[in-house]
Amino acid sequence: MSNGSKKSLEITAMKPSEVAAVLSSAYRRKITEEQVREVAEAGNLLSDDGTINLVQYTAFLAGEVGVGSN
């Protein structure tokens, strides 16, 4: 079976636009690149090359939600 034109994602080095697209699909609501950048900057999650580790990003979000629930 050929993978065709499908592009695989490197979840440890994603562009903010890719993170926005993945989250928009998962949450079924619009998540903008700007929103992703704001969160990434707040959590100091942007790599030198401007990419984001999706695992660290979601862990940061989970921590933020956890802080608000106490």
Give the total number of structural domains in the chain: 1
Average pLDDT, integer, range 22-50: 97
Q: Is residue 35 part of a domain?
A: yes
The rounded distance, in Å, linking the Cα atoms of 48 and 42 is 15
* Residue 1 confidence (pLDDT) above 90: no
Q: Which has more pLDDT, 34 or 9?
A: 34
* Segments forming the whole domain that contains residue 56: 16-68
In a domain, 10, yes or no: no
Measured CA to CA, the distance from residue 29 to residue 24 in angstroms comes to: 5
- Cβ-proximal residues to 4 (8 Å cutoff; 6+ apart), any chain: none
**pLDDT value at 12 more than 50:** yes
21: in domain: yes
Q: Answer whether residue 7 is part of any domain.
A: no
Mean pLDDT of 43-67: 94
Residue 58 lies in a domain: yes
Asked whether the predicted pLDDT for residue 20 surpasses 80, the reply is: yes
Q: What is the mean pLDDT of residues 40-55?
A: 97
- Token readout for 54 is 């999706």
Provide the whole-model pTM: 0.81
In a domain, 5, yes or no: no
